[in-house]
């Protein structure tokens, strides 16, 4: 089995690579590439994201054919994909960080700035916070409810269809922590920085 981490210059993804390699050990081939043929031949894909919504979308679009290849992988071929942080946010139709930017449109919704209630809550939302698991998700197998995960973000994904939400956290309001829609999985938190529970989530995704 091959799991591909998409490398499209979205910031430092070394911690994502290290965590997947640690979990996979010798049983799974972890590849880091932007090569379209290699992505197409993968069993699963990981879409990391670090930086702004706009910078990540722009970086994806700079690699000719990458967005089309991801659409084919996810929408046409229904293969599993895990989006992490901005990787999840890009599932949306539109994001409002920096300027209005069109997203991948896989899950209807928008990405907008967290309401910090006039400075009552610090932005970015950074550090450990509990997640409230609100539906059975394949990537949450053997994950206890109210486990702590590591977050770094100022923007949140607000899906139109609330049934895709698999966990929430309390920060200013109920913020979407993760989504699951058929073969599409995403976490706003960083599983690769979330200690043993985060590694379990990575393991669950690899084992899908």
**Tens-place pLDDT, residues 32-70:** 999 999 999 999 999 999 999 999 999 999 999 999 999
- pLDDT for 91-124, tens place per residue? 999 999 999 999 999 999 999 999 988 888 999 9
Helices 14-24 and 195-206, packing angle to 10 deg: 70
Whether 148 sits among the annotated catalytic residues: the reply is no
- pLDDT for 159-174, tens place per residue? 999 999 999 999 988 9
Please name the helix (run of DSSP H) or strand (run of DSSP E) that holds residue 59, with its range, or none: helix 53-62
| pLDDT (mean) for 142-167 | 97
- The residue annotated as part of the active site, out of 56, 153, 180, 190, is 190
- The residue annotated as part of the active site, out of 31, 97, 180, 192, is 192
What is the C-alpha separation between 190 and 200, in angstroms, rounded? 12
| pLDDT (mean) for 134-162 | 97
Please calculate the CA angle 8-139-191 and round it to the nearest 5 degrees: 50
Domain extent at residue 24: 2-206
Structural domains of the chain, count: 1
Q: Compute the Cα dihedral for 15, 110, 57, 155 and give only its sign.
A: negative
pLDDT at 11: 77
pLDDT at 119: 85
With contact defined as beta carbons under 8 Å apart, do 83 and 96 qualify? no
Instruction: Read off the CATH number of the domain in which 200 is found.
Output: 3.40.50.880
What is the C-alpha separation between 193 and 34, in angstroms, rounded? 23
C-alpha Rg value of the chain to the nearest Å? 16
- The residue annotated as part of the active site, out of 56, 85, 156, 177, is 85
Whether 85 sits among the annotated catalytic residues: the reply is yes
**6 has a pLDDT exceeding 90:** yes
Percent of the chain with pLDDT over 70: 100
pLDDT at 54: 97
pLDDT at 26: 86
Helix (H, G, I), strand (E, B) or coil at 68: helix
pLDDT at 12: 80
What is the C-alpha separation between 196 and 142, in angstroms, rounded? 11
Beta-ladder partners of 186: 83, 179
């Amino acid at each position: 089995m091959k799991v591909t981490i998409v490398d499209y210059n979205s910031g430092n993804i070394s911690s994502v690579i290290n965590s997947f390699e640690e979990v996979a050990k010798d049983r799974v081939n972890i590849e880091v590439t932007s090569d379209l043929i290699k992505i197409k031949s993968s069993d699963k894909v990981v879409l990391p994201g670090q930086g702004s919504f706009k910078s990540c979308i722009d970086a994806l679009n700079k690699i000719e054919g990458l967005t089309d290849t991801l659409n084919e992988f996810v929408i046409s071929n229904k293969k599993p994909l895990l989006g992490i942080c901005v990787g999840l946010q890009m599932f949306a139709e539109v994001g409002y960080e920096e300027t209005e930017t069109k997203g991948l449109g896989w899950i209807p919704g928008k990405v907008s700035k967290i309401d910090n209630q006039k400075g009552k809550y610090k932005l970015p939302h950074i550090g450990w916070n509990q997640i409230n698991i609100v539906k059975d998700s394949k990537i949450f197998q053997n994950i206890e409810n109210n486990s702590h995960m590591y977050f770094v973000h100022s923007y949140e994904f607000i899906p139109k269809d609330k049934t895709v939400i698999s966990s929430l956290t309390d920060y200013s309001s109920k913020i979407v922590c993760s989504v699951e829609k058929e073969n599409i999985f995403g976490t706003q938190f960083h599983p690769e920085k979330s200690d043993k529970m985060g590694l379990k989530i990575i393991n669950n995704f690899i084992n899908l």
